[in-house]
Structure 1
Amino acid sequence: MGKNREFDVVVYGATGFTGRLVAEYLNAQYGVGGDLKWAMAGRSDKKLAQVRDEMGISKDVPFVVADASDPASLKAMAERTSVVLTTVGPYQMYGSDVVAACAEAGTDYVDLCGETPWMRWVIDTHSATAEKTGARIVLSCGFDSIPFDLGVFFLQDEAKKKFGSTVPRVKTRVRAMKGTFSGGTVASFRSTMAEAGKNPDVIKILQDHFALTPGFSGPPQPEGNKPEYDEGLGMWLAPFVMAPINTRNVHRSNALLGHAYGKDFVYDEMMLAGPGEQGEAIAKMIAGDTSLMSDDAPKPGEGPSKKEREEGMYDVLIIGESGDGKTIKVGVTGDRDPGYGSTSKIIAEAAVCLAKDDVVEGGGIYTSAPAMGLTLVNRLVANAGLTFKVEG
């Protein structure tokens, strides 16, 4: 771990749409010249200065020039900071040299990745180096997958208090969501689909619920890829677009936590579509949605207005079921649109948590729960507009 370096956190990609929101948040939340030493990184001083001024960020924020096409510049950046926060995706196109530089320099790392095949490549390629240097590489530190991964972790912690043990079955149901997915998410999805079209191994990874737990495969998991009726909730359920990445991360968390949720753990995520015929119709409409592949989908660098971000939100219900039929329910909410407003605050707090808090010590390729756990939950509640609450 790169402690006592020039910077605590460097925001790489600070001139992109999400990166500039991260920089704006750090400036507002932590200021400059205080306890948190942070910098903005991108391809040119000129563009960084332009973004800094547009976003009303302090002129005292330092700049680091780094470019994905220049590995030496990435190495130099990694060696100057305790944590690299990167918003530069798709990661399979622009992230490999960044994560390599951090693993080799013993520098902690957070990203917004939802690209399962690339994440598996990072695990296979960089685990040994990160373990040796102490670099804590934490993938998927935005809306995918922190509210879900930490939500399950929080539920299991509460289940231990209530039942004396964790629960083997957890269902996540998205109750409400307002906001758009980021252009980066769309680009990542398309890059992954393009790769899958060329490489059958990528398809295998995408279909495997345990793709991120090499050496372990648990029980069969629900697919959640078509509408279904939930008798217990009296509601129709629809597929949730982020489930294919969130579920893989939750299973990795379980494995990294020594299978604290059990080796028989079963987990799925779906959206609530409502009751009756109308609920069924909405579920079918959601299941048939192809907007991520349409020409109207957001492009990288594009995003909603400040008003749209502030009017966005999400509300997630997580239900745990014990082996003897008892249940526990947890709600997780966010006060901004998931793809930009909330994601930018979440990843910023994850980076600060690694830089400043007493969390996991050993290096390796992590998910949020085993790396930061309830420490990050508390940060997100205190600073980033999230709630984690037991509902029953």
Structure 2
Amino acid sequence: MRDHDIVVYGATGFAGVLVAGHLAAHAPTGTRIALAGRSPERLAAVRARLGVDWPVIVADAMDTAALAGLAASARVVISAAGPYAKYGHALVHACAQAGTDYADLSGEVLFVRKSIDDNHELAAKTGARIVHSCGFDSIPSDIGVHVLHSAVTGAGAGELTGTTLVVTSMNGGASGGTVDSMRTQLDTVRADRAARRIAASPYSLTPDRDAEPDLGRQEDIVTVAARDVDPALRGTLAPFVMASYNTRIVRRSNALRGYAYGRGFRYRETISTGTGPLSPVRAAATKIGLGALMAGLALRPTRIVLDRILPKPGDGPSESARRKGHFTMDIFTTTTTGARFSARFKAKGDPGYAATAVMLGESALALALDRDALPPSPGGVLTPATGIGDALVTRLRNAGMEIGAAERVASN
């Protein structure tokens, strides 16, 4: 019997406070929760702010002994302490060693690749489910494709082939933590050629690159005519800013499932730029803007300027902005039988914060309390779809998120 059902690590950070707040408001009575981080004073302040009497655990991200004790005390550890490449490796390893389930908000390819290499086999032996990317990156993508595949399978409509996520509506702000994670990865790939190759590969998170089907080049930063995705769509679709990460998580899910989505499954992510004559212009500008941001953060002179403009670590959207945020993602596929299906993942609240706090909090509650409903797995470094699956779908629907999939009937 462990002391805690859930420990929230990084509970004093911007995202950590939001996740702890969701648990304080929505965790079932009797759920044993603790707050963890470096500063006992700041942890006590968060506890007072939330009006809870949860225990406080003091553990620095570099103190392996303290992290081992923290992991051993919990059934599930939430980590909201990023950038994960700087602060996350020791905690993940401690959880893998202790057989403790783990969930985080990572959107960092290099961090997750190293986590897989260091911990997948160990976690499979101890039974730990290490589930990265349990927020806006990458639950809507990964769980969206999961429910899409379930609908196709249930209809006996074959396997998924070309599949495209379209962000059809979104309102949300950026945070300093997200920007800092981008800086960290860019610094690494600039200095390390091997890391640069990993970050560039569309299969950088799959278990065995040699086992992947040969589908030719798969680009993540693309513009595409909307009607080429689905005949009912109009305008031009631009690259989605998190496509280069989310696509790799979804491909890992397919590989971990023995290519259940299909060996001809191709996946990409885009964002709608509306309709009308200016849609192609907006799509092109979005693609150029993404490239310029990455280049600007990678080069020292322009980074100095951008650092003055972009949010600082610990900063994030105001409570009003978080409340007004929302997103809708639609995923379109054509199956091997020629049928067209789509899935929708829709939620209220700022995607990266209000909605993310719900997604991460409910992921941890599912791991801690819904063991019989989790996908069969010996453990390992998993994805939201392969590590939590339908248990998470149920919880997120109950939390007010719209998640569903169905066949699309061609209009006359």
Which TM-score band applies after superposition, normalised by the shorter structure?
over 0.9
Look up the match of 1:74. Answer: 67
State whether structure 2 residue 216 is matched by structure 1 residue 220.
yes
Shift of 1:182: 2.9
Look up the match of 1:364. Answer: 380
Q: Separation in 2 of the partners of 1:237 and 1:330?
A: 17
Shift of 1:13: 0.3
Look up the match of 2:43. Answer: 48
Give SS of 2:21's match: helix
State whether structure 2 residue 5 is matched by structure 1 residue 12.
no
Look up the match of 1:390. Answer: 405
Look up the match of 1:23. Answer: 20
Distance verdict in 2 for CA 1:355–1:361, change over 3 Å:
farther
Shift of 1:117: 1.5
Give SS of 1:172's match: strand
Look up the match of 2:322. Answer: 309
Q: Separation in 2 of the partners of 1:314 and 1:230?
A: 19
Give SS of 1:214's match: coil
Look up the match of 1:319. Answer: 332
TM-score, length of structure 2 as denominator length:
0.90
Residues 282-297 of structure 1 mapped to structure 2, 5 A cutoff: 282-289=282-289, 290=292, 293=297, 294-295=306-307, 296-297=309-310
Give SS of 2:345's match: strand
**CA displacement 1:170-209 (0-9 Å, x = unmatched):** 1111101100133222111111111000011112111211
State whether structure 2 residue 140 is matched by structure 1 residue 124.
no
Give the conservation status (yes or no) of the 8 Å contact 1:318–1:330.
Answer: yes
**1:15 partner letter:** T
Residues 1-392 of structure 1 mapped to structure 2, 5 A cutoff: 4-30=1-27, 34-54=29-49, 56-58=50-52, 60-215=53-208, 216-218=211-213, 219-231=215-227, 232=231, 233-289=233-289, 290=292, 293=297, 294-295=306-307, 296-357=309-370, 358=372, 359=374, 360-383=376-399, 385-390=400-405, 392=408
**1:387 partner letter:** E
Q: Separation in 2 of the partners of 1:119 and 1:365?
A: 9
Shift of 1:369: 0.5
Q: Separation in 1 of the partners of 2:377 and 2:4?
A: 19
Q: Separation in 2 of the partners of 1:387 and 1:258?
A: 28
Shift of 1:361: 4.3
Percent identity over the alignment? 40
Give SS of 2:327's match: strand
Give SS of 1:8's match: strand
Shift of 1:221: 4.8
Q: Separation in 1 of the partners of 2:181 and 2:362?
A: 23
Look up the match of 2:302. Answer: none
Shift of 1:373: 1.0
Q: Separation in 2 of the partners of 1:48 and 1:92?
A: 23
Distance verdict in 2 for CA 1:249–1:369, change over 3 Å:
same
Q: Separation in 2 of the partners of 1:123 and 1:315?
A: 30
Give the conservation status (yes or no) of the 8 Å contact 2:323–2:350.
Answer: yes
Give SS of 2:273's match: strand
Give the conservation status (yes or no) of the 8 Å contact 2:220–2:247.
Answer: no
**1:208 partner letter:** S
**1:266 partner letter:** R
**CA displacement 1:51-85 (0-9 Å, x = unmatched):** 2233x332x11111111121111111001000110
Q: Separation in 2 of the partners of 1:73 and 1:164?
A: 51
**2:404 partner letter:** K
**Unaligned ranges ≥5, structure 1:** none
Alignment RMSD, CA only? Answer: 1.6
Q: Separation in 2 of the partners of 1:111 and 1:250?
A: 16
Give the conservation status (yes or no) of the 8 Å contact 1:291–1:297.
Answer: no
Shift of 1:352: 0.9
Q: Separation in 1 of the partners of 2:381 and 2:154?
A: 29
Q: Separation in 1 of the partners of 2:365 and 2:80?
A: 15
**CA displacement 1:269-294 (0-9 Å, x = unmatched):** 11111223211121122212245743
Q: Separation in 2 of the partners of 1:370 and 1:40?
A: 27
Shift of 1:230: 2.6
Q: Separation in 2 of the partners of 1:18 and 1:280?
A: 35
Aligned pair count reads 384
Give the conservation status (yes or no) of the 8 Å contact 1:24–1:57.
Answer: no
Q: Separation in 1 of the partners of 2:91 and 2:362?
A: 20
**CA displacement 1:193-232 (0-9 Å, x = unmatched):** 1100001111211121111113233312541424332333
Shift of 1:8: 0.6
**2:76 partner letter:** V
**CA displacement 1:113-152 (0-9 Å, x = unmatched):** 1111121111111112111111110111110001110000
TM-score, length of structure 1 as denominator length:
0.94
**CA displacement 1:153-179 (0-9 Å, x = unmatched):** 000101112244332221111101100
Distance verdict in 2 for CA 1:349–1:192, change over 3 Å:
same
**Unaligned ranges ≥5, structure 2:** 298-305
Q: Separation in 1 of the partners of 2:142 and 2:335?
A: 19
